[in-house]
Amino acid sequence: MLFSTPEFIFLFLPVVALLTFAIGRYSDLYAKLFLILASVYFYTVSGVLDVVVLGLSLFANFALARAIERGRFAAAFLAFGITLDVVILGYFKYFNFLTDTVNSAFGYQVAHGEFRHLPLAISFFTFQQIAFLIDVHRGNIRRPNLLNYIFFLFFFPHLIAGPITSYLPISRQVDLKRVFTPRVRNICFGLALFAVGLAKKVLIADPLAGYIRPFFDNQDALGFGTAWLAALGYSFQIYFDFSGYSDMAIGLGMLFNIRLPLNFASPYKSRSIQEFWRRWHITLSNWLRDYVYISLGGNRRGQIRTYTNLIATMLIGGIWHGAGWGFVLWGLAHGLALAANRWYTRSGLPRLPAFAGWLLTFVFVTFAWILFRSATLAGAGVHLLAMIDISAIASDNWRPFLSVAELNRMIALVAFAAAIAFFAPPAIQIAGTTILPDRRLALRVACFCGLLFGLAMITFTGHSSTNEFIYFRF
């Protein structure tokens, strides 16, 4: 079920919210149980197998966590738990990729199981459960509560594509008394943030997805200008698609008085690749830092080891995103860029001017997105070469991709998206204005958010947003 569909907005969400608040007036426990059941139903829409996989994984990890907490053979139970989670993820997500790679490399004909169905959100809930086991082993979590753990994993606003959360902050919130009682400030903030996120998805990301598809389906025909237009189109599509989802998820969490962690902070304003990863998909960056980079030794074992750890961490991040060599190379490119950034900042060389740092960062990120988006490495290579082949600019032709009217609309939308990404305040700041003491300002911003919601609703008059969020695939 998509957040950006009428079924969710006008049926599922209001029914679940009203019933949760009604039950919450009499019992926190029953409200929590109802919200878990509603979240299970929300997830069941994607397929019963998905719920079975998540349920079995959930109970196995919780049992292992209790075994780890008892102390005897704790390290062995931790290793087994992490291995189990990785094997489950690998079986569903990477088995076909690995067998295809072996087949093409050695000429084998190993069957790769076309029957395999990728459970929705498997990458997200796998990372969250690995973090849970490690936190129990480190002593950060003591005597975890099974019901809170189920809520932590199944809570529908963040279940499908994050933000990646930790057990402890969620558990502490749902243990508060009358947590599921409606609070006007949280509802106002949550609805405003949801409206902004919905507008990002429906008014910017989805139209861009339609415009750029012909370019990536026919990369051999790209010239200098069309290659850059497609690259910029996808850069802003993924930005507004994923940041829009994160805004909606955080807003929905606030409706139920559950604070989910911030996931975006205007990343395209970054002046270095290090700053970019502090602003883009913040919860994934924090997870990779806390549970991979630090576990590998971080920066405590010399410069060479630090650079190696950075590259290895981002390589894992790339593999986490998808089963394909494009994702591997995308992660490797970002790892190398982070290592180069760290070396430069410690080299004693003069700092880059702010504009130069921003431009270098944005151009690098845009180039790297081609590896992320292209269906094949060959297509990515052709696309990247076209982006640097200035000599071919005169022979560039947009006719294989779009009509004149479509091209003009795409250029205008890319320019509009760029203006918002580079100059507009973050969505969470816009939503926060609606609960400020200055009531006139709050009312104006609330009306603005309502206008955005109305514009998004207009798109439903002809068709609903059926484009899945990009990160649903991961």
pLDDT tens readout for residues 249-291:
999 999 999 999 999 999 999 999 999 999 999 999 999 999 9
DSSP 426: P
% of the chain residues with pLDDT over 90? 76
Q: What pLDDT score was predicted for residue 462?
A: 53
> φ and ψ at 34, to 5 degrees?
-65, -45
Entry pTM: 0.93
Q: What pLDDT score was predicted for residue 399?
A: 87
As annotated, the active-site residues are 321
Q: What pLDDT score was predicted for residue 112?
A: 60
Q: What pLDDT score was predicted for residue 404?
A: 92
Q: Per-residue pLDDT averaged across 35-60, rounded?
A: 90
Instruction: Identify whether the C-beta of residue 224 lies closer than 8 Å to the C-beta of residue 129.
Output: no
The b/e string for 240-266 (b: 16+ C-beta within 10 A; e otherwise) is bbbbbbbbbbbbbbbbbbbebbebbbb
Mean pLDDT is lowest, of 60-74, 384-398, 425-439, for 384-398
Q: What pLDDT score was predicted for residue 440?
A: 92
Instruction: Identify whether the C-beta of residue 54 lies closer than 8 Å to the C-beta of residue 119.
Output: yes
Is the pLDDT assigned to residue 111 strictly greater than 70? no
**Could you tell me the residue ranges of all domains in the chain?**
6-183, 185-271+352-466
Q: Which residues contact 335 (CB under 8 A, 6 or more apart)?
A: 310, 311, 312, 313, 314, 315, 318
The mean pLDDT value of the chain amounts to 91
Q: Which residues contact 460 (CB under 8 A, 6 or more apart)?
A: 6
With CA atoms as reference, report the closest residue to 249 among 428, 421, 123: 428
Written as one letter, the residue type at 10 is F
pLDDT tens readout for residues 163-217:
999 999 999 999 999 999 999 999 999 999 999 999 999 999 999 999 999 999 9
Q: What pLDDT score was predicted for residue 300?
A: 85
Q: Per-residue pLDDT averaged across 419-433, rounded?
A: 95
